[in-house]
Structure 1
Amino acid sequence: MPSLRAYWRYLAPLMIILLLVLLPVPQGLAPHAWLFFAVFMGVIVGLILEPIPGAVVAMVGIAIIAILSPWLLFSPQQLAQGGFKFTGKALSWAVSGFSNSVIWLIFAAFMFGTGYEKTGLGRRIALMLVKKMGHKTLFLGYAVMLSELLLAPVTPSNSARGAGIIYPIIRNLPPLYDSQPNSSSARSIGSYIMWVGITADCVTSSIFLTAMAPNLLLIGLMKGAAGFSLSWGNWFLGMLPLSIALVLLVPWLTYVLSPPVLKAGTQVPAWASNELVAMGPLSSKEKRMLVLMVGALLLWIFAGDYVDAAMVGYSIVAIMLVTKIITWDDIISNKAAWSVFFWLASLITLATGLNDTGFIPWFGKMLAHKLTDYSPSLVMMALIVMFYLLRYFFASATAYTSALAPMMIAAAVALPAIPLPSFCLMVGAAIGLGSILTPYATGPSPIYYGSGYLPTADYWRLGAIFGVIFLLLLLITGFFWMPIILL
């Protein structure tokens, strides 16, 4: 029988909806837009508490709005013009997110990740780096970072990448030097490796558009609210200086702030070498996978003006099926991909509805009116800092992005002096980088936190230090580089 706490998680979203519905409609906002917002906030609370899977929460929200569309989705003027013949329009709105190219890009990227996992190419890359660089602890940190970096563009789930590929490899490394979890020997080398692991996951999640599903959710929100989006190449080039700085900085900074006792050794390269021998030589499927991934990355970076990124992904998946790198069963059995596919499409639909009903423009104008007396640069900085620090209050990157990103975009749209492309990229980078702040911020965080090598005090201390450094570097590149490259 469900506990009282379980019932509370079911009731809380409904109570939020009811509370907002009973409040007076804010001045200047249409009643149907306020009712839509009430259901939207109920969905956000549902995503945070997850009484049922997140995709189901979003779909229930859409179903409620579509069924009650004459009161939640359409204005009285629209009803007067068309009567109540809105059944077809409501359904078209409800499924509109599934036609968004962002949805198909993220789905294709999940299939790339399946190919990496099924062929063993992802694991081989990580083991090869560990073998080559693992003789010194500092270099081992860079091997972990580079492994994440090479896998991130084609692994849109940071949990699958960090907790599913990298963590199972690096958790075997500390015991090779008798560095055991939950003991005094944890700091020998284990604490260093684990902190680099979770930090690398957060950093690479921000470097590439396809490295984390909420990044693509943000692109969908931008397109709905502002009428434009960032391409894969725009995102990559806009992040380039910050990416280089973070990739070079993180292993060294961890080496300084959480210094390992053991500085060098031969056990890790020997272990990695044995694992590679067990895997055997590079298979034909791995070779085909490697060629396809390099081709996809080149097209994403250099051909964005000619070929849609989602079309590239769709075509590569078709080739992967024909060349038997993956099978149709691999696609239909990939629960993670289908789950993200449905919740991302549903959340984009809901966020687009916020804009279509007029809530986002109203909120943006209201916020802009209060901020007009301040310089655009100061406003931009304040919004990014606020968005970044609010990460402390969310245990889900999806809920965090869904709840706050539309408001950030609305404020920027209403203030023309703010360079919208660079501002939105800064918001996107903050989603990944801010995940370092807490041990519950993103999927892999609890895995690394629970490894026994990162005590609570160390995690919060390092999270705060790295979080501040990441934020400062983000602001610097956001003001001085991104506006130039994203003109």
Structure 2
Amino acid sequence: MPAWSKALLPLLLAMLILLLPVPDGLDPHAWRFFAIFVAVIAGLILEPLPGAVVGLSAVVLVAIAAPWVLFSPTQLATTNFNSAGTAFRWAIAGFGNSTVWLIFSAFMFAAGYEKTQFGKRLALLLVKKMGKNTLTLGYAISFADLLLAPFTPSNTARSGGTIFPIISNLPALYGSKPNDPSARLIGSYLMWVAIAATCVTSSMFLSALAPNLLATALVKSQIDISISWATWALAFLPVGVILLLLTPLLAYWFYPPTIKSNEEVPRWAATELAKLGPMQLKEWLLVSFVCLALVLWIFAGKYIEPALAALLVICLMLYTKVLDWSDITGNKAAWNTLVWFATLVTLAGGLSDVGFIRWLGVLGGQWLGDLSPVAATLILVIAFYLLHYLFASSTAHTTALLPVTLAIGAAIPGMNLLIFSLLLVTSLGLMGILTPYGTGPSPIYFGSGYLPAHDYWRLGTIFGLLYLAVLLLVGYPWLQFLF
């Protein structure tokens, strides 16, 4: 597709939406904002410009056009309401999001692994033990994430900050390079397995994803149902086991690596390990800093924000010369991702700010009022899951949609609210696989250079629908049996 058509199609899509009548009950400014948001999503898919440029352009456009797009007439008529200042604060709000900075920190952790060669050492050890078969490497990545999941309530910290820096060293060992046809040798497969596996483990445990904890609090406040750690784990157990075992194999089928096995690679890895020699001081320092980050992420979440803990570790790496300041300023991928994800968080939050999400909830309640509890449950869970395309984070999705969806479900006679709420909250991790911005680690793997946009969107759709199918076909009957 020519570059000019990639740029024109999102604009035409926005114009088409703007020409349609504003739906009943929705403010015109919210409809205009929705048109811009849809154009942004189209732009991210077609990539006429880098994703960060698309997101930044949209935020600037909305902020400039705030009186017609972001603010209602009532807000503008308020005495002393400074629309210009408020619009600017809205535009930069995403840069104050903790997940955005946790993602940025993950790139710095990866730089530390690379510079000290500790990442290469770990990769060589992994290849030495399991490198004979690419599929077993996929399972090793999945199980490593599973071991960390119950104790790390941030999948960005767990996968982006711990798993990614290690596996990013693996493809080069096989001659697989980012942004190159050789990426499909093995790098693309490993990166996709890593992001897909962390989406599964994020749903397996209450403590494996920060929005999970928020979701249980919202369920308690909205419909007075308490969901314990054990209840959550038991409710998702068969779905989680099936998906964790299937994910590396499904990736092997749908996104096959060119390199299937290589008997020489483990022997080569052993030789390379011998060349590295014993661990150096900076490697030990890096290990201690990473362990400190894990301890803070797991045990000190009440006292220190995970992103702040990550920034503390970056400072320690700078003080001890594990990293130099030039390593920070010169990391183009990290800064690109920071701008890209921050602007998406802002735009996604804007859908709630203008009242679009609230209107969608009211409309859904009117449509589903006469359905049976089972049909309503299936429709609401599917809608809740697929609407994640509109959100740049699971936290934003949970905050905006979960209370509305619970309210709709509670209004339907005969609805088993415990089963309904469990289906909703355990889908939060799974839905992160849908888009390159769907969950914290997504931009990290998307920005690795091994997962082109068209591949990511295609695989996200395939795996997203498969995950949803297993949740409904296995998880729903299981919950009916339990409760």
The residue number in structure 1 matching 2:404 is: 414
1:365 matched to 2:392? The reply is: no
Seen in structure 2, the aligned counterparts of structure 1 residues 29 and 97 have a Cα distance that, compared at 3 Å, is: same
* Equivalent of residue 35 in structure 1, options 32, 37, 42: 32
The residue number in structure 2 matching 1:168 is: 172
Residue 248 (structure 1) shift: 5.2
Residue 403 (structure 1) shift: 11
- 1:291-316 per-residue CA deviation (whole Å, 9 max, x = no partner) reads 22122122222322332111211211
Q: 2:100 corresponds to which letter in structure 1? A: I
Seen in structure 2, the aligned counterparts of structure 1 residues 216 and 333 have a Cα distance that, compared at 3 Å, is: farther
Distance 1:38 1:413 in 2: 24
Seen in structure 2, the aligned counterparts of structure 1 residues 433 and 30 have a Cα distance that, compared at 3 Å, is: closer
Q: 2:172 corresponds to which letter in structure 1? A: P
1:79-478 to structure 2, matched below 5 A, reads: 79-82=76-79, 85-134=82-131, 142-143=139-140, 145=142, 153=157, 156=160, 164-170=168-174, 197=190, 200-206=193-199, 267-374=264-371, 379=376, 381-382=378-379, 402=392, 412-416=402-406, 417=409, 423=424, 426-432=427-433, 443=446, 470-471=467-468, 473-475=470-472
- 1:131-172 per-residue CA deviation (whole Å, 9 max, x = no partner) reads 134467875664465678789856639997698433223458
Residue 404 (structure 1) shift: 11
- 1:70-91 per-residue CA deviation (whole Å, 9 max, x = no partner) reads 1111111111223774111111
Residue 279 (structure 1) shift: 2.3
Q: 1:203 corresponds to which letter in structure 2? A: A
Seen in structure 2, the aligned counterparts of structure 1 residues 68 and 252 have a Cα distance that, compared at 3 Å, is: closer
Q: State the TM-score, normalizing by the size of structure 1.
A: 0.69
Q: 1:327 corresponds to which letter in structure 2? A: D
Seen in structure 2, the aligned counterparts of structure 1 residues 240 and 335 have a Cα distance that, compared at 3 Å, is: farther
Seen in structure 2, the aligned counterparts of structure 1 residues 24 and 388 have a Cα distance that, compared at 3 Å, is: closer
Residue 128 (structure 1) shift: 0.7
* Equivalent of residue 9 in structure 2, options 1, 12, 29: 12
SS in 1 for 2:6: helix
Residue 274 (structure 1) shift: 1.0
Unaligned 5+ segments in structure 1 are: 173-180, 183-189, 210-214, 229-233, 391-397, 436-440, 450-459, 483-487
Distance 1:337 1:259 in 2: 28
Distance 1:27 1:299 in 2: 49
SS in 1 for 2:169: helix
Distance 1:22 1:281 in 2: 67
Residue 29 (structure 1) shift: 0.5
SS in 2 for 1:82: coil
Aligned residues: 423
Distance 1:31 1:140 in 2: 52
Whether the 8 Å contact between 2:97 and 2:342 is mirrored in structure 1 is: yes
Seen in structure 2, the aligned counterparts of structure 1 residues 32 and 60 have a Cα distance that, compared at 3 Å, is: same
Residue 244 (structure 1) shift: 6.2
**Percent identity among equivalent residues?**
39
Distance 2:23 2:305 in 1: 41
Seen in structure 2, the aligned counterparts of structure 1 residues 415 and 329 have a Cα distance that, compared at 3 Å, is: same
Distance 2:255 2:160 in 1: 29
Distance 2:478 2:376 in 1: 18
Q: State the TM-score, normalizing by the size of structure 2.
A: 0.69
Whether the 8 Å contact between 1:158 and 1:205 is mirrored in structure 2 is: no
Whether the 8 Å contact between 1:58 and 1:347 is mirrored in structure 2 is: yes
- 1:231-276 per-residue CA deviation (whole Å, 9 max, x = no partner) reads xxx9xx969956666555556789999999x999853321110121
Distance 1:121 1:329 in 2: 20
The residue number in structure 1 matching 2:42 is: 45
Whether the 8 Å contact between 1:148 and 1:200 is mirrored in structure 2 is: no
Seen in structure 2, the aligned counterparts of structure 1 residues 119 and 424 have a Cα distance that, compared at 3 Å, is: farther
